Amino acid sequence: MVEQWQYTRPSLYEKQEAAIFDEARISVIEAGTKSGKTVGCMAWITEIAWLGKRGWNYWWVAPYYAQAAIAYRRMKDGLPPQIYKANDNDMTLKLTNGTTIWFKSGDKPDTLYGEDVYGCVVDEASRLRQESWWAVRSTLTATRGPLRIIGNVKGKLNWAFKLAKRAQDWVRRWEEGGRKGKKLYAYHVITCWDAVAAGVLDQEEIEDAREDLPEAVFQELYEAKATETGSNPFGHEHIKECILPYTPSGTPVVWGWDLARKRDWTVGIGLDEFGQVVGFERFKRSWPSTIDTILEVTGTTPALVDSTGVGDAILGQLQRDGGRNYEGLVFTSRSKQQLMEGLAVAIQNHGVYFTNGVLVDELDSFEYEHNRTGTLYSAPEGMHDDCVCALALARQILVTTEIGDAEVW
């Protein structure tokens, strides 16, 4: 006797269901964080796999293994255990009808070629390598399998943004031409405000996030709006507005020191009470010479020092030879996120000022990348962010010691 199961689709709000269960073969969905795109696609891929035939494969592809593993665990926990057999090593769920859902990483594109796939979800598409997208697309050619492409917006230079605009244009032309039949493409946008209206997210929490995050970050992560700044958290126009046409004079009231890593620079930035950069040091020296220079330049001025790794020993020496005016901050993904978001808010509110030079170059090239654990801030590969870190440290101690101009901050 063939087993029969009764399936009820999870409750999805209107815009969420319309985007994910669109009749089009390929639905490109630009969505705000926590707006329900992932859980909706979990329901979608389960449904199409149940309608498949024995031996058919379905994929969930994420940029990295850890992200694919999150979706795998959520699917495994969400489905009744009697309808699938899980393989944790391969991250597969084999359903009782003989179809298999695979959860794959896109970090090695060559491993994605060769298979025939009958349906696929591309998760966090704006962070997936373009070569991996090419591989995924090739696996659906023979089967003409349906595809859902989901993710946050991340600038305008990645393949996912360009495909979204292509899908949007295709839909416009299809509608204007009065064409009928099954659509190839669909394009949808789901924002945090849609999720708030549906009762999925709390409005107060979203408003708090808007206050806490840089403007560009909030727009992309929550409102699914690609910003002209791309992946720059400060905003190029905001940076320009903070550039002084003259070199300010004065004595620093605080210093921020970012210590060298391998081929990096040690950078010190001094701010006056108005947030103007009035002290700047950038050099590569031995640790003993570095300590001597920091002590000489800083004197008794309050200073916040990068105390990550070997920096902890450097900080200890500075405190022994200098005094209690030296504080330390260990860079973790979380502490750096908070530090850079504080700097971004200061730049956007004209809370810091600087002159053209290497600092501005680093600010312009600085990037952020959002993942499921938070937002990562760093310089592009092969470039430096020592000046940015030193400025952020100086800004932080200026705020926490209450030396700065209250109206500025």
What are the pLDDT digits (tens) for 248-299? 989 999 999 999 876 678 999 999 999 999 999 999 999 999 999 999 999 9
Residue 383 confidence (pLDDT) above 80: no
Residue 381 confidence (pLDDT) above 70: no
Q: What is the pLDDT of residue 215?
A: 79
Higher pLDDT, 294 or 179: 294
Beta-bridge partner residues of 228 = none
H/E segment holding residue 30: strand 26-31
Q: Give the pLDDT mean for 371-387.
A: 74
- Report the C-alpha gap between 348 and 363 in whole angstroms: 13
Q: What is the pLDDT of residue 1?
A: 44
Q: Give the pLDDT mean for 342-352.
A: 93
Q: Give the pLDDT mean for 13-37.
A: 92
Q: 409 pLDDT band (50/70/90 cuts)?
A: very low
What are the pLDDT digits (tens) for 78-118? 899 999 999 999 999 999 999 999 999 998 899 998 889 99
Q: What is the pLDDT of residue 256?
A: 97
What is the DSSP track for 304-371? Answer: EEE-STTHHHHHHHHHHHT-TTEEEE---HHHHHHHHHHHHHHHHTT--BB-SSHHHHHHHH-EEEEE
Within 8 A by CB and 6+ apart from 324, the residues are none
Q: Which residue has the tokens 């997936």?
A: 128
120-122 and 57-62 as β-strands: parallel, antiparallel, unpaired? parallel
- Which pTM was predicted? 0.62
What is the DSSP track for 107-160? Answer: SSGGGG-S---S-EEE-SGGGS-HHHHHHHHHHTTTTT--EEEEE----SSSHH
Q: What is the pLDDT of residue 229?
A: 52
Average pLDDT, rounded, for the chain:
89
Identify the structural domains of the chain with CATH numbers, from first to last: 14-211 (3.40.50.300), 236-400 (3.30.420.240)
Q: Which residue has the tokens 């708030």?
A: 196
